[in-house]
């Protein structure tokens, strides 16, 4: 349980919500979603999208309704069609396969993922092996590892760091998936440094601003709430990490994809409910959870701001002219 949350609510028996800001869409997700919307306007349906454009069920369903067709691989897309690549990025082989099919490709890869790809490419060209801290089956990690497949070792946590073997310990750099938790990544990196003292750090912070801000918010909520609800889908890596962060502070935390997922038992005895949302969760989902909590007596909603985000990414060049 969080520290003294019932005291913070002031009035005995008063039930309230603390809403973290920022919550929900980051600049990379906004750009990716807008890319599909504008591609549909410009080229007409269907527009094909490789994998989920962002890891959120409601967003995917809404875009499907508007005419987007989600596919697992490029070979499912008819020759000559429009294909949008998701925010998580792809290995170069995917672009080559799309070019071979004559597809009109619009790349919605988040610029912060592209930055990690550039780092991987540069270090591989310098003869380094890359220790990529991340989840092996996540789309982003598959894409980043594909930039330098012969030189990348995926390190999935502390245990993997302890047993990793490399050919040349003198030329190593570690990089990271953008949505990891800062604390866990630092633990893994510290283990890698212990084993390989010459290990180079990434040239810049790979864990993105949006993940860091939302994690800071989850920590703050955990310290001031009896339970934390994280709005997001189960396959959203950054949303699941927010649950981890809150639980690591000792506060119960649950992922909620929609209001119907809120279980009565979670709120039992809770005076203050913390609410945050992963970077792929739309504002409508956050609003629906807040409305459900209000219907259950949590009508006092206060926002706790941990950061202000002014980031904004321009659309892919094929669509840039279509933005007013
Ligand atoms: Fe980009 Fe970070 Fe958003 Fe991922 S979470 S899309 S890396 S800004």
314 contacts 35 by C-beta, under 8 angstroms: no
pLDDT tens column, 279-322? 999 999 999 999 999 999 999 999 999 999 999 999 999 998 76
Q: Does any domain span residue 40?
A: yes
pLDDT of res. 7? 36
Which residue range is the domain that position 160 belongs to? 112-195
Percent of the chain predicted with pLDDT > 70: 95
- Banded pLDDT at 324 (limits 50, 70, 90): low
Model-wide pTM > 0.85: yes
Q: Does any domain span residue 319?
A: no
**Of the candidates 86, 142, 45, the residue with the CA atom closest to the CA atom of residue 280:** 86
Q: What residues are labeled active site? A: 140
Task: Please compute the mean of the pLDDT values over residues 46-50 and round it to a whole number.
Answer: 98
- Residue that finishes a domain, picked among 195, 228, 256: 195
322 contacts 41 by C-beta, under 8 angstroms: yes
At CB < 8 A and 24+ separation, what contacts does 134-138 make? 134/176, 134/177, 134/180, 135/177, 135/237, 138/88, 138/177, 138/237
Q: Report how far residue 36's alpha carbon sits from residue 28's, in angstroms, rounded to the nearest whole number.
A: 13
Choose the residue to mutate in 22, 31, 179 for probing ligand 1, maximizing ligand atoms within 8 Å of C-beta.
Answer: 179
Choose the residue to mutate in 27, 281, 310 for probing ligand 1, maximizing ligand atoms within 8 Å of C-beta.
Answer: 27
pLDDT tens column, 211-236? 999 999 999 999 999 999 999 999 99
pLDDT of res. 6? 38
Q: Does any domain span residue 253?
A: yes
Place of tokens 């739309």: 282
179 Cα: distance to centroid of ligand 1 (angstroms): 7
Residues 272 and 220 in one domain: yes
**Of the candidates 36, 66, 76, the residue with the CA atom closest to the CA atom of residue 52:** 36
279 Cα: distance to centroid of ligand 1 (angstroms): 7
Q: Does any domain span residue 123?
A: yes
pLDDT of res. 2? 45
Q: Does any domain span residue 223?
A: yes
Q: Does any domain span residue 315?
A: no
113 Cα: distance to centroid of ligand 1 (angstroms): 7
| Token pair of 113 as six digits | 């993922």
Instruction: Write the CATH number for 126.
Output: 3.40.1010.20
Task: Please compute the mean of the pLDDT values over residues 83-110 and round it to a whole number.
Answer: 98
Q: Does the structure show a pLDDT above 60 at 151?
A: yes
110 Cα: distance to centroid of ligand 1 (angstroms): 6
250 Cα: distance to centroid of ligand 1 (angstroms): 27
Q: Report how far residue 32's alpha carbon sits from residue 13's, in angstroms, rounded to the nearest whole number.
A: 43
pLDDT of res. 5? 41
Q: Which residues of 232-264 are buried (b: 16+ CB within 10 A; e: fewer)?
A: bbeebbbbbbbbbbbeebebbbebbbebeebee
Q: Which residues of 126-158 are buried (b: 16+ CB within 10 A; e: fewer)?
A: eebbbbbbbbeebbbbbbbbbbbeebbbbbbee
Q: Does the structure show a pLDDT above 80 at 57?
A: yes
Q: Does any domain span residue 321?
A: no
pLDDT tens column, 184-206? 999 999 999 999 999 999 999 99
| Token pair of 100 as six digits | 């071979």
pLDDT of res. 54? 96
Residues 239 and 163 in one domain: no
Give the DSSP letter of residue 292: H
Domain tally for the chain? Answer: 3
The set of protein residues with a Cβ atom below 6 angstroms from ligand 1 is 26-29, 87, 110, 112-113, 178-179, 208, 210-211, 238, 279
Q: Does the structure show a pLDDT above 70 at 323?
A: no
Residues 6+ apart with CB under 8 A from 61: none
**Of the candidates 234, 273, 274, 283, the residue with the CA atom closest to the CA atom of residue 256:** 234
Choose the residue to mutate in 108, 113, 182, 209 for probing ligand 1, maximizing ligand atoms within 8 Å of C-beta.
Answer: 113
Q: Does any domain span residue 131?
A: yes
Residues 13 and 36 in one domain: no
- Residue that finishes a domain, picked among 139, 162, 195: 195
The minimum-distance atom of ligand 1 relative to the CA of 87 is 6
pLDDT tens column, 251-272? 999 999 999 999 999 999 999 9
Which amino acid residue places its CA nearest to atom 8 of ligand 1? 28
Q: Report how far residue 170's alpha carbon sits from residue 235's, in angstroms, rounded to the nearest whole number.
A: 36
Q: In what order do the strands lie in the sheet with 129-133?
A: 152-155, 129-133, 172-176
Residues 6+ apart with CB under 8 A from 163: none
The minimum-distance atom of ligand 1 relative to the CA of 28 is 6
Place of tokens 């946590």: 157
Q: Within 13 Å and on the Cβ side, how many CA atoms surround 128?
A: 20
């Amino acid at each position: 349980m969080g520290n003294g949350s019932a005291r913070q609510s002031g009035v005995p028996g008063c039930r309230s919500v603390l809403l973290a800001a920022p919550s929900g869409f980051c600049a990379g997700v906004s750009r990716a979603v807008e890319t599909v919307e504008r591609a549909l306007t410009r080229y007409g349906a269907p527009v094909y999208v490789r994998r989920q454009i962002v890891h959120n069920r409601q967003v995917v369903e809404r875009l499907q309704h508007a005419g987007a067709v989600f596919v697992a691989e490029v070979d499912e897309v008819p020759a000559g069609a429009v294909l949008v690549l998701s925010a998580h990025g792809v290995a170069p082989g995917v672009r080559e396969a799309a070019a071979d099919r004559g597809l009109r490709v619009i790349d919605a890869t988040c610029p912060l993922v592209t930055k990690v790809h550039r780092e991987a490419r540069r270090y591989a060209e310098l003869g380094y092996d890359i220790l990529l801290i991340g989840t092996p089956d996540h789309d982003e990690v598959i894409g980043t590892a594909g930039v330098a497949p012969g030189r990348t070792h995926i390190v999935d946590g502390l245990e993997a760091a302890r047993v990793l073997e490399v050919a040349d310990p003198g030329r190593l750099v570690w990089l990271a998936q953008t949505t990891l938790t800062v604390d866990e990544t630092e633990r893994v990196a510290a283990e890698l440094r212990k084993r390989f003292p010459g290990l180079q750090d990434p040239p810049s912070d790979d864990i993105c601003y949006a993940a860091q801000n939302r994690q800071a918010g989850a920590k703050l909520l955990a310290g001031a709430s009896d339970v934390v609800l994280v709005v997001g889908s189960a396959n959203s890596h950054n949303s699941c990490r927010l649950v981890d962060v809150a639980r690591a502070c000792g506060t119960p935390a649950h992922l909620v994809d929609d209001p119907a997922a809120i279980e009565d038992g979670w709120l039992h005895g809770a005076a203050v409910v913390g609410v945050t949302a992963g970077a792929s969760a739309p504002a409508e989902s956050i609003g629906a959870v807040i409305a459900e909590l209000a219907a259950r007596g949590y009508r006092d909603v206060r926002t706790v701001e941990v950061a202000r985000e002014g980031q904004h990414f321009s659309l892919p060049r094929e669509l840039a002219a279509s933005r007013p």
